[in-house]
Amino acid sequence: MSERIVLAYSGGLDTSVAIGWIAEATGAEVIAVAVDVGQGGESLETIRQRALDCGAVEAYVADARDEFAAEYCMPALQANALYMDSYPLVSALSRPVIVKHLVAAARQFGATTVSHGCTGKGNDQVRFEVGIQTLGPDLKCIAPVRDLALTRDKAIAFAEEKNLPIVTTKKNPFSIDANVWGRAVETGFLEDIWNGPTPDVYEYTSDPASGIAADEVVITFKEGVPVAIDGKPVTPLQAIEEMNRRAGAQGIGRIDIVEDRLVGIKSREIYEAPGAMALMAAHRELENVTVEREQARFKKTVGQRWTELVYDGQWFSPLKNSLDAFIGDTQKYVSGDIRMDLHAGRATVTGRRSESSLYDFNLATYDTGDTFDQSMARGFIELFGMSSKVASGRDQRLAEGK
């Protein structure tokens, strides 16, 4: 049997051409792997048939939407994962689930190599190949664009020469990556960082200034995961989809950032993540109510490191696994309801309630019935400031002796 190569397949021009391009360059048989993570568009069956029509000897397709939402997006929500305090890891989260299916397909069909469509200047090449090396250390990796000189003009010419069943003339000015957690847009005129985004950049969100009435929503969490919206039970996937719809209608979740890429360059990125950003705002506020102060402070450090690891393609790393355990433990009491107003680009928390709340009304109130013993405050302040007081006395004594 000929050598076999598994290709991460989207159904678009570049990966459709890559099937024949790889076959001609290597002499190997190509197995196309398409993974649905909620990107929308064509059905998996349509994509599967196109892969076969373009020369793949096998086509592996997987509906991974529920898996992606529950096993990848929910941990990111629990970590409050925002790279550079802004980016909710839209693309970074989808790569490990795709890698998992690529390696599974390689095992199923006896492939020795895995291929992806990334360039040599982006983050995704690292995410794919580090993940593949970790889950399948015996597998080799190639990238047609990076390693086999597959440029877009060559792809168009190849598709026309081979009469492949793919549109070759229409070119979107943007590079777009989408899934249920959000949508990433780059290149084209956006590469000039002085240029503002035009309305056609956006698809998941409406204009925040559209003037539609506010939308009140109640999100119920259990151990850091949304389980109901307005009292109706939801799966993680349904929660994200519902909040994408409702928060997106209000223009929530638009992000315009110059981002520090793993490979050392800065790039301008536009993201839309209405559901992710609204759910994260609700989750953070519920943590404010239910997570102890010192634990919450340290969790921010852990969450930031978790986010950096995932951004850098280290989803399967030992450190990320260890941080998962800490974050999971912090979510033990993150259960309850958050009420939010969604309006004009903002998700504003207006109410919180939880049976595991650490908020004590009788301690917090300034009215009659206050149970806080204010006489304890004087001694607390003396002790809390003692080290600074002693150091200041030393500084003044030595300064006077000069």
Residue spans of the domains in the chain: they are: 4-171, 176-291+333-353, 364-400
pLDDT at residue 355 tops 70? yes
Give mean pLDDT, residues 321-335. 98
Per-residue pLDDT tens digits for 101-138:
999 999 999 999 999 988 888 899 999 999 999 999 99
Q: Annotated catalytic residue: which of 4, 14, 183, 254? A: 14
Average predicted confidence (pLDDT) for the chain:
94
Write down the catalytic residue from 95, 183, 246, 268: 95
Annotated binding-site residue? 175: yes
Please state the rounded mean pLDDT for residues 63-83: 98
The pLDDT score that the predictor gives to residue 154 is 86
Q: According to the CATH classification, is domain 4-171 in 1.10.3720.10?
A: no
pLDDT for position 126: 96
8 labeled binding residue:
yes
Q: Is 124 a catalytic residue?
A: yes
Catalytic residue among 175, 210, 322, 392: 175
Residue 223: pLDDT band by 50, 70, 90 thresholds? very high
Mean pLDDT calculated for residue range 189-213: 94
pLDDT at 165: 84
Confidence of residue 365 (pLDDT cuts 50, 70, 90): confident
Percent of the chain exceeding pLDDT 70 equals 98
* 12 marked as binding residue: yes
Tell me the pLDDT band of 161, cut-offs 50, 70 and 90. confident
DSSP secondary structure, 142-209, as one string: E-HHHHS---HHHHHHHHHHHT-SS--S---SSEEEEETTEEEEESGGGGSTTSPPPGGG-SS---TT
* Confidence at residue 109, expressed as pLDDT on a 0 to 100 scale: 97
Binding site annotation covers 115? no
* pLDDT classification of 235: cutoffs 50, 70, 90: very high
The secondary element (H helix, E strand) that includes residue 63 is strand 58-63
Whole-number pLDDT of residue 333: 98
pLDDT over 80 (residue 1): no
Catalytic residue flag (residue 329): no
For residue 342, pLDDT beyond 90: yes
As a whole-number percent, the residues of the chain with pLDDT over 90 amount to 81
Residue 117 in marked binding region? yes
Question: Residue 87, annotated ligand binder?
Answer: yes
Catalytic choice (65, 124, 246, 268): 124
What distances in angstroms separate CA 192 from CA 132, 185, 186, one per listed residue?
A: 34, 14, 11
- Across 390-394, average pLDDT: 95
| Partner residues linked to 272 by β-bridges | 183, 254
Contact 166, 12 (CB under 8 A): yes
Question: What does the pLDDT read at residue 368?
Answer: 81
Mean pLDDT, range 292-301, rounded to an integer: 98
Q: What is the largest CA-CA distance in the chain?
A: 90
Residues 6+ apart with CB under 8 A from 386: none
- Model pLDDT, residue 171: 60
The contacts of residue 178 (CB under 8 Å, 6+ apart) are 38, 39, 40, 184, 203, 204
pLDDT of residue 172: 63
State yes or no: is 14 an active-site residue.
yes
Q: Looking at residues 195-219, what average pLDDT do you find?
A: 95
pLDDT band at 168 (very low <50, low <70, confident <90, very high): low
The whole-number average pLDDT for the span 213-230 is 98
124 is in an annotated binding site: yes
Decide which of 3.40.50.300, 3.30.420.40, 3.90.1260.10, 3.40.50.720 is the CATH code for 176-291+333-353. 3.90.1260.10
20 is in an annotated binding site: no
Domain 364-400: CATH architecture, name and number where available: Up-down Bundle (1.20)
Q: Is 137 helix (H, G, I), strand (E, B) or coil?
A: coil
Question: Is 9 assigned to a binding site?
Answer: yes
